Amino acid sequence: MHDDEILIGSLMEDTWLTLEQVAAACTVDPAWLLRHIEEGLFPHADSVAGVWCFSSTSLRRARRMRQLERDFDAVPELAALMADLLEELDELRARLADAQPG
Q: CATH assignment of 3-99, given 1.10.3720.10, 1.10.1660.10, 3.40.50.970, 3.50.50.60? A: 1.10.1660.10
Q: Which residues pair with 46 in a beta bridge?
A: 53
If DSSP codes are grouped into helix, strand and coil, which group holds residue 26? coil
| pTM of the predicted model as reported, rounded to 2 decimal places | 0.80
Query: What is the predicted pLDDT for the residue at 4?
Result: 52
Strands (DSSP E) contained in 1-102 are: 17-18, 46-48, 51-54
The answer to whether residue 8 scores a pLDDT higher than 50 is: no
Query: pLDDT tens digit string along 34-73?
Result: 999 999 998 888 888 889 999 988 999 999 999 999 999 9
